[in-house]
Each structure stands twice: as C-alpha cells, then as structure tokens.
Chains A and B, each alone.
Chain A
Amino acid sequence: MIAQLALSVLLAAILLYAWTEYRRSPAVALLSVLAATAGLYFVWFPAHSTWLAELVGIGRGVDLILYTWVCISLLVLLNLHLKLRTQMELVTILARKAALAEALSAAARPRESGDPDREF
C-alpha cells in the first residue's frame, strides 16, 4: 500500500508536469499523460497489468510497469531536449539583437560624420 501511494504521488506529479507543458509541447504532454495514466492504472490494478503483459507478450505485469516507467523517463528527456531548443532560440534572438545593434550603430557613425560609403 505504501509503495502504491508513493508511486501514485510520483505519477500524479508527472500528470501535473504534462499539464503545465501542454501549451508549449502538446505532443509530448499528451504522450506523458497517456503513459502516466497507464502507470497509475497498473499501480492500483496490478492484476490487469499481468493480464495485459501476457496479452502483448511481455510476460510479467511488473515488467510492463517498468517499461511504462522507462517510456515516461524518455518522454521527460525528450521534453527537456525541446526545452533546451527553445532556450537556444531565445539565446539566438538575443545574440542577433546584440550583433545587429552593434553593427547598425557602427554603420550609422560614418553616416553621421558625413561618410557616403556606408553600406546599407
């Protein structure tokens, strides 16, 4: 019972995480919800997991739960990767703004001093 409660809290946390991520990455959020819901179900109805595991050829129900957990971990990793990509896009915008501001102000200086050779 204690293990069931602990796992339920962890899986509920995954559900909450998926909900907060839905706006940014719907595909990952939906897959996480699916995996976490399946995990919750099997935690409380382990006999069903054995039945389903046998049906899909995994063998033991506990292995099915383990595989579900691996799926969740991979999805969280994928989400982390996507978050890093988003951060990189923001860094790019910032770096571009800095580079453009520097170049445009450098280009404006000769113009202000009457230099006709300024490029665009």
Chain B
Amino acid sequence: MDPVSPADVCVVIAAHNEAAAIARVVFGAKRAGYSALVVDDGSGDATAEIARAAGAAVVKHPFNLGQGAALQTGIEYALAGDAQIIVTFDADGQHRVSDISRLTDALVREHADFALGSRFLGQAPNLPPLRRLLLKAATAFTRLTTGLQLTDTHNGLRVMTRRGAAAIRLRQNRMAHASEFLVQIASSGLPCVERPCTIEYTAYSLAKGQRVRDAVLILLDLFARRLYR
C-alpha cells in the first residue's frame, strides 16, 4: 500500500447533540489535512450547523438512530466518494487527531486493512476504575467470541482501507455496534492491527460515555441479533 496522504483520509464523526464539542473536533481533523464528515444523528441542537460552519461535510439523519447506524451511514458516504482511508472518530473530543497518522502508518507498514486504537496500549488519563473494569470485561468477552487478540474492544478510533470499510455492514444501531464491528472484522479475514492511542476523559465525555446498564443492554442486543435473520 502506498503512503497515505491526509487528503485521502475521511474522518467519520458520528454526533448526537454535540454542539458544545463538535467544532473543536472538526477543526482538529481539518487542520491535519483530513476531510471531516459529521453524521448528525438527529440532534436537537445546532450540531449540524456548527459542524458545517467548521468545514465538515454533513449527513443528517432525519431522527436519532444510534451511533452504530450513524457510523454505517458515514462509511457508506465515504465509500460513495473517493476516500482511500476511512477513520471513525468520537465526537466528544476524547480522541487525539495525532493518533490517526499513527494508525494510518500502521496500515501501510503492516499491509493491514484495519488499524484499531487501544487506550490500554497507550494512555487513558482519568479513566474511572469501574469503567476500566467494564472495558476489560468487554475485551475478554470479545476476545472469546471473535478470536481477535485485542486489548481494547470498545474504542471508537478505527482506521480502515476502502476494502476494509466495504466489508463492514453494521446492523446494530446502538452501542453493540462496537462488538459487531469486531465480529465483522474477524469474519472478513482481512488483516487487522492494534496500536496505542490516547483517550482523554473529561467531565463532558464521561457524562456522554457508557454505563454499567449499557453493558447489559449491549449483551442483550448481541443475543437478540442472533435470534433472527
């Protein structure tokens, strides 16, 4: 694979009521030379307008469908264009734009189709102990169900080639999409690497993040999805 030019990279940001944080995230991606695509997932605030004013392309869901649905929409939009590399990136500002190039470099060097960020190989300042425990349990569960030997399975920072993105078809609209993503990576058989990244927890991102109750819902969603075609 040829070295990646930032112009070939489309950063997909799924956002729901992120008016307070979206401009900074879009500016960060644009400053690094990437294209930014915000999928406004039926926000009730000015997320879409702010993202557009910050220079992002915006796709707007008519109503709230969930983060998984928004990411799939973003991936399909990016594939409809000429993006060579597609990145999924959180809208609450907890990811660092500088980690994207680390992951794209890994794609090129390792001839991989997926490069996933890991806060446990990198840094996660202010990660609450309960959430750490929850993430570790999710990682053990996903390792068991997918066979992928990852250290961080619920990290929103993912980088993929066009071929990798085309292999992803998320049907889990809500938080269970993170596990479904990995199941689909595993079943695609395409090479996948994991690299350190930093996740900065702030009061804002913690308020938006997952709770113990969400973990139960994720398990139920994953189970229910197996019951029908």
Q: Select B76's contact among A82, A88, A89, A100, beta carbons within 8 Å.
A: A100
Task: List B contacts of A102 (CB < 8 A).
Answer: 59-60
Question: Ordered nearest first, which 8 A-B pairs have the shortest CB separation?
Answer: A120-B81, A119-B57, A103-B59, A25-B228, A82-B228, A96-B73, A119-B35, A92-B69
Q: Are A24 and B228 interface neighbours, CB within 8 A? A: yes
A98-B62, A99-B59 given; A120·B224 CB < 8 A = no
Task: List B contacts of A23 (CB < 8 A).
Answer: 229
What are 12 of the A-B contact pairs (CB < 8 Å)?
A25-B229, A27-B226, A85-B224, A89-B171, A96-B73, A99-B62, A100-B73, A100-B80, A102-B60, A120-B10, A120-B78, A120-B83
Q: Are A120 and B227 interface neighbours, CB within 8 A? A: no
Task: List A contacts of B62 (CB < 8 A).
Answer: 95, 98-99
Task: List B contacts of A28 (CB < 8 A).
Answer: 227-228
Q: Are B224 and A103 interface neighbours, CB within 8 A? A: no
Within 8 A of A (CB), among B35-94: 35-37, 39, 56-63, 65, 69, 72-73, 76-78, 80-83
Q: Are A25 and B227 interface neighbours, CB within 8 A? A: yes
What is the chain A residue whose CB lies nearest that of B59?
A103
Q: How many residues of A are in contact with the other chain, CB < 8 A?
A: 24
| Nearest CB on A from B80, distance (A) | 6
Within 8 A of B (CB), among A34-61: none
| Nearest CB on B from A80, distance (A) | 12
Q: How many residues of B are in contact with the other chain, CB < 8 A?
A: 32
B contact patch SS: mixed
Task: List A contacts of B229 (CB < 8 A).
Answer: 23-25
Q: Does B101 contact A (CB under 8 A)?
A: no
Q: How far is the CA of A85 from the CA of B228 in the complex (A)?
A: 9
Q: Which residues of B contact A (CB under 8 A)?
A: 10, 35-37, 39, 56-63, 65, 69, 72-73, 76-78, 80-83, 171, 173, 224-229
Q: Select A103's contact among B63, B72, B77, beta carbons within 8 Å.
A: B77
Q: Are A103 and B35 interface neighbours, CB within 8 A? A: no
Task: List A contacts of B59 (CB < 8 A).
Answer: 99-100, 102-103
**A99-B62, A120-B83 are known contacts; what are 9 more A-B pairs with Cβ within 8 Å?**
A25-B229, A82-B227, A85-B224, A95-B63, A99-B39, A103-B57, A119-B36, A120-B37, A120-B82
| Nearest CB on A from B13, distance (A) | 12
| Nearest CB on A from B30, distance (A) | 10
Task: List B contacts of A89 (CB < 8 A).
Answer: 171, 173
A25-B229, A100-B80, A120-B37 given; A82·B58 CB < 8 A = no
What is the chain A residue whose CB lies nearest that of B68?
A92
Q: Are A96 and B228 interface neighbours, CB within 8 A? A: no
Q: Does A109 contact B (CB under 8 A)?
A: no
Q: How far is the CA of A85 from the CA of B36 in the complex (A)?
A: 31
Task: List A contacts of B228 (CB < 8 A).
Answer: 24-25, 28, 82, 85-86
Q: Select B77's contact among A25, A88, A120, beta carbons within 8 Å.
A: A120
Q: How far is the CA of A51 from the CA of B80 in the complex (A)?
A: 65
A24-B228, A25-B227 given; A95·B61 CB < 8 A = yes
